Amino acid sequence: MTLVIISGLGVGVYAYITLEKELTEKLESKKFIVPTEFYAAPPTFYAHSLIQISEVERQLLRQNYRRRDYDQRILPGDYFIANREQCAARLQVGLNENQEACIGWVTLDTATADVDSSLQILVVQKDRLISQIFKGAPFVEMTEAHAEAPLLAQYIGNEPLMQKTVTLGEVPPMCLNAIMAIEDAQFLEHGGVSIKGIFRALVKNIAAGRRAQGGSTITQQLVKNYFLTSERTLKRKFQEFVMSILLESRFSKDQILETYLNVIYMGQNGAFQVRGYGSAARYYFGKEIADLNLSECSLMAAIVNSPGLYNPFRKPENAERRRHLVLEKMQGLQFISKDEADAADRLPLPGEPRTQASETAPYYLDAVRKQLLSQNINPEGLKIYTALDLEAQDVAQVSLRGHLDNLEKNNKYIKGLREKGNSLEGSVLVANNVTGLVSVVVGGRNYRMTQFNRAIDGHRQIGSIMKPFVYLTALLNQTPEGQPYTPITLLNDEKFNYKYEGQSWSPVNYGKQYFGQVPMFYALKNSLNAATAALGIAVGLGNVIDVTHTMGVTSELKSFPAMTLGAFEMYPKEVLQSYMTFANMGQKQKISFVRRALNSDGVEVFAHQINPEPTVDPAAVASLVGMMKQTVLSGTARSITLSGFQNPAAGKTGTTSDNKDAWFAGFTPYLTTVVWVGYDNNLPHRLTGSSGAVPVWTQFMKKIGTRFPADDFPWPENTKKVLLDQSTLESLNAFKENDPTEVELIFDAEKAPN
């Protein structure tokens, strides 16, 4: 018996020492949660783009900037708004009558945000055009200005969360009183475990015949949530009991309460967990924790018990009832008066916020992690400054989901597939042509529904997206007769059979309509299969493959004739990379989802480099881009122009022969955007690139592409614009009903017609 007692004591002492060591290590290192921090790209404002000053102010206020008068000293985190006369006085320059107002600011965190700390001022006209941008001291006119890089999310491993650490001094006393009143009224008195609380809860539960009240203290809640598993066993309860006492013996009440308030689960924002009071204050009220009033503090305390059950947006009656209980408890403990409680109880609950891109931003962050890992950089614990444009991501998310919803509602065939449980999916990728930074990654309709990132990991047949590579190969070579290929070189668009390796292959045009001899630009803009395939065979399939890889495609291509029509798979990011090379006139700038990354010591472990490399003759690429502009103006993507999008753009639709994949890859001088639509299980959807993908691209670019000036592409010096009139087009068999009566094309200056 004695041996049993001694043995039991030994086990108990060992368990105590083990638990004490584990607890101390975790607390002293403050590693309750060690998140990887992701920052979105700083909002960027461009000269000669449209903007509302109120929109700029809204973005600054979201980062808690302070408004000052125009003639005051503007410190980091300050901004001002001024009229024309005040702007002129501040800038010491003359402004014209059309320049109505200005807004200026100094960014907060220049050490890590990668943004200049100088005063930046936007001068805005009456028509909302940003006419001038000034920066520095003395002021220098610039082409763009940047606001703060906002903290987007934090991750523990692959688990997305929102967390903003706050000190106990930042939390209003009424918030502290509220949480103690409802969760642990004896918090300041007990030693980690409240025997009185456990007994009171036991009596209530017996009287109610169910679990009506818990007896855990705040200390116990902290221990069981962040040191122990969720299993309900006597062993775990014993560990919780011992570790709570240990916690109280090692750390002050202030330290325990501060930690609790920073790590407690407070709800869900899309795919992101809301952790702690700091992030919860922003999520539920759009405020900093220090600015909460009594009603808001009591609601926060109400939510803690069960964020799902007491969610003020989805279960307002439950939330109001629980808030009332918190106020009653506070009044009973004489933290507040009856009048204060009644006044707080009468205030309305907060309205649900519309958080930008919350449903799809995790797709972007997935791409970021995969990029860093591919470069042997472990993202865990890093501060990662991404290129994610929150507004653009949100617009892309809405554009894609809205179009897919519309198809499933109004397209009879797709509606039938939806009723059988098949969900139409899609992806959107967007990059800045100059920097190569990818600003948008929408990998599906909803990350919580499916985490498969179609934008990064979807390997799908590309169809006619391949055709520009065939035409570029031709523009770099000569015809069998020794003549240079140009946009008006005639091709045979006729049905033919091609025999290879004992097989026979015959390309078929969409609608089985053939046009005879047509110029190259006409065959490309109308996506004629027969003419394109014949051209690819004539210039050499191996040459087409080489050019395709040179432009940025990395997937394996096999030298089969169907390759010319895209009968193979690519990843959307390959399409983005290669089409961005088109947009840059053959200069290949490597894409990146990350601007820079810092480790916990502030040392830079990654920085994106803007270092484009030349690939092929820029004049040949310029000729191709001029042809691709016709796709948007009057070809398979003409709905873009008909919709009212007027900025110069070029692109190519893509439809696979079995109608399983619909693509559109299009670009302006500033942005390249790639859209894919299809089913994960490869069901045919009977959509084309024109009907499946172009509407998403159009809606997105009408909102985001118009931020930029409506400039034409920067054509290389050794090129020449040629305007073909109707008679010339008719002679080339390139004028049909509803076609434009004039077509502008780009030629190598040495190959241009007279």
Structure tokens at 566: 């895209």
In this structure, is the dihedral angle defined by the CA atoms of residues 579, 580, 585 and 586, taken in order, positive or negative?
Answer: negative
Contact call for residues 144 and 45 (beta carbons, < 8 A): yes
Contact call for residues 491 and 715 (beta carbons, < 8 A): no
Q: Say whether 159 is catalytic.
A: no
Task: Name the helix (H) or strand (E) containing 38.
Answer: strand 36-39
Structure tokens at 36: 């990887």
Task: Provide the angle, in degrees to the nearest 10, between the axes of the packed helices 390-410 and 361-374.
Answer: 120
Residue 486 CA, distance from chain mean position? 40
Contact call for residues 662 and 689 (beta carbons, < 8 A): yes
Write the Ramachandran bin of 374: left for phi over 0, alpha for psi from -120 to 50, otherwise beta: alpha
d(CA 289, CA 292): 6
Structure tokens at 683: 């069901």
- The DSSP code for 385 is E
Contact call for residues 304 and 183 (beta carbons, < 8 A): yes
Closest residue by Cα to residue 665 from 385, 446, 429: 429
Contact call for residues 679 and 743 (beta carbons, < 8 A): no
Paired residues of 493 in beta bridges = 516
Contacts of 430 (CB under 8 A, 6+ apart): 389, 392, 396, 438, 439, 440, 671, 672, 673, 674, 700, 704
Write the Ramachandran bin of 540: left for phi over 0, alpha for psi from -120 to 50, otherwise beta: left
- The DSSP code for 464 is G
d(CA 489, CA 487): 6
**Three-class SS string for 517-560?**
EEEHHHHHHCCCHHHHHHHHHHHCHHHHHHHHHHHCCCCCCCCC
Write the Ramachandran bin of 463: left for phi over 0, alpha for psi from -120 to 50, otherwise beta: left
Structure tokens at 474: 């031709």
Q: Say whether 464 is catalytic.
A: yes
Catalytic residue among 183, 258, 296, 391: 183
Contacts of 60 (CB under 8 A, 6+ apart): 79, 105, 147, 148
Structure tokens at 494: 């006729």
Contact call for residues 625 and 583 (beta carbons, < 8 A): yes
Closest residue by Cα to residue 578 from 567, 569, 587, 566: 587
- Whether the link from the prior residue into 614 is cis, omega within 30° of 0, is no
* Planar angle of CA 665, 671, 676, nearest 5 degrees: 25
Catalytic residue among 194, 244, 464, 623: 464
Structure tokens at 433: 């042509």
494 SS3 class: coil
**Three-class SS string for 587-631?**
EECCCECEEEEECCCCCEEEECCCCCEECCCHHHHHHHHHHHHHH
Using the structure block, give the residue that is written with the tokens 């800045």. Answer: 432
10 SS3 class: helix
Q: Measuring CA to CA, how many Å separate 5 from each of 1, 9, 10, 12, 398?
A: 6, 6, 9, 10, 67
- Catalytic residues, by residue number, are 183, 464
